[in-house]
């Protein structure tokens, strides 16, 4: 199957998964307000976290993750035009290559450091983390923050939903048709099961993603051997590359402000680079 065909299939599947996930979010909200009828404070908390989760999902799914069409890549390409090309086109195995562009044998073009090819998207992605079928796109340099927030706010929204189901409120919700097992009861049970699954998935994904971000490493790079040349001794400093300066904006799915790099080149941990240059690491 050609790369163009792969990309077309990927876009078709993407549209279906986005529609599915969106319908699940909406169904959970309808069931929550119609059947559970929670206290006002829980309803307000659920609505806030649910809206933040939906906002994060939209931002994650529809923000360019870092394709060759994005402004950062375009600026990098213009700078590279006048430079002598020194990229190995033999396609050496993936590994750490700090400060060096690499060559994509599929796209037949140079790409910035930490960029990788995605067969589903049909192109290379800046600081690619992984391809996520649930957003129909890659998680990369330009939408990684939104992906973290998607999992964070969805987990909190699920917790708010389940908190409303404790004690007699669950029994009251199930007794829509006294003495019988109603369609409404079945719908509620399915919704609760769906929420539990969502909570487990997004909670685990958030913990894993946050752990990697605090080390300034992607899912792909986590399989590389040798020391990570991009990891500083401060977790906050590592997170700042993805989220921008610490503050309230860390929790809001809006574009990052004043990040210390542009996704095509990255600050290096000098002590790690020194060890790598001395032969103790693997480039």
The Cα–Cα gap between 10 and 33 comes to 35
pLDDT of residue 281: 42
- pLDDT-derived band at 252 (thresholds 50, 70, 90) equals very high
pLDDT of residue 107: 92
pLDDT of residue 96: 81
pLDDT of residue 241: 93
Compute the average pLDDT of residues 98-106.
90
Q: Per the structure block, which two tokens stand in for 152?
A: 């964070």
Percent of the chain with pLDDT over 90: 51
Least confident of 4-18, 37-51, 190-204, 233-247: 4-18
* Mean pLDDT, all residues of the chain: 82
Compute the average pLDDT of residues 4-9.
46
pLDDT tens by residue, 204-218: 999 999 999 999 999
Residue 177 pLDDT greater than 50, yes or no: no
Pure H helices in 63-178: 71-81, 144-163, 168-174
pLDDT of residue 282: 39
The Cα–Cα gap between 67 and 58 comes to 18
pLDDT tens by residue, 68-84: 999 999 999 998 886 65
Q: Which residues of 168-200 are buried (b: 16+ CB within 10 A; e: fewer)?
A: ebbeebbeeeeeeeeebbebbeebbebbeebbe
The Cα–Cα gap between 135 and 16 comes to 10
pLDDT of residue 213: 97
pLDDT of residue 224: 92
pLDDT tens by residue, 9-36: 445 456 677 777 777 777 777 777 777 7
Residue 279 pLDDT greater than 60, yes or no: no
Of the two residues 166 and 280, the one the predictor is more confident about is 166
The Cα–Cα gap between 76 and 266 comes to 13
Of the two residues 253 and 192, the one the predictor is more confident about is 253
First to last CA, the chain: 33
Find where tokens 């060559």 sit.
103
Of the two residues 202 and 161, the one the predictor is more confident about is 202
pLDDT of residue 128: 97
Q: What is the pTM of this model?
A: 0.84
Q: Per the structure block, which two tokens stand in for 166?
A: 């404790």
Of the two residues 194 and 55, the one the predictor is more confident about is 55
Strand-pair partners of 123 = 118
């Amino acid at each position: 199957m050609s790369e163009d065909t792969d990309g077309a299939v990927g876009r078709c599947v993407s549209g279906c998964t986005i529609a599915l996930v969106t319908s699940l979010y909406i169904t959970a909200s309808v069931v929550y307000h119609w059947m559970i009828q929670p206290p006002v404070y829980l309803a307000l908390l659920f609505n806030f976290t649910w809206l933040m989760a939906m906002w994060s999902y939209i931002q994650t799914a529809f923000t360019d993750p870092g394709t060759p069409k994005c402004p950062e890549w375009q600026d990098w390409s213009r700078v590279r035009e006048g430079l002598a090309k020194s990229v190995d086109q033999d396609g050496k195995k993936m590994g750490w290559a700090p400060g060096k562009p690499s060559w994509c044998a599929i796209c037949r073009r140079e790409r910035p450091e930490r960029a990788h090819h995605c067969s589903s998207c049909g192109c290379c992605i800046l600081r690619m983390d992984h391809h996520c079928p649930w957003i129909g796109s890659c998680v990369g340099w330009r939408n990684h923050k939104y992906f973290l927030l998607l999992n964070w706010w969805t987990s909190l929204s699920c917790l708010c939903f389940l908190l409303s189901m404790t004690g007699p409120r669950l029994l009251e919700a199930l007794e829509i048709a006294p003495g019988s097992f109603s369609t409404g009861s079945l719908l509620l049970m399915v919704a609760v099961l769906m929420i539990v699954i969502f909570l487990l998935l997004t909670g685990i994904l958030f913990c894993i993603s946050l752990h990697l971000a605090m080390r300034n490493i992607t899912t792909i790079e986590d399989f590389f051997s040798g020391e990570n040349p991009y990891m500083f001794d401060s977790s906050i400093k590592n997170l700042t590359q993805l989220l921008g300066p610490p503050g309230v904006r860390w929790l809001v799915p809006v574009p990052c402000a004043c990040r210390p790099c542009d996704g095509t080149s990255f600050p290096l941990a000098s002590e790690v680079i020194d060890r790598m240059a001395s032969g103790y690491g693997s480039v």
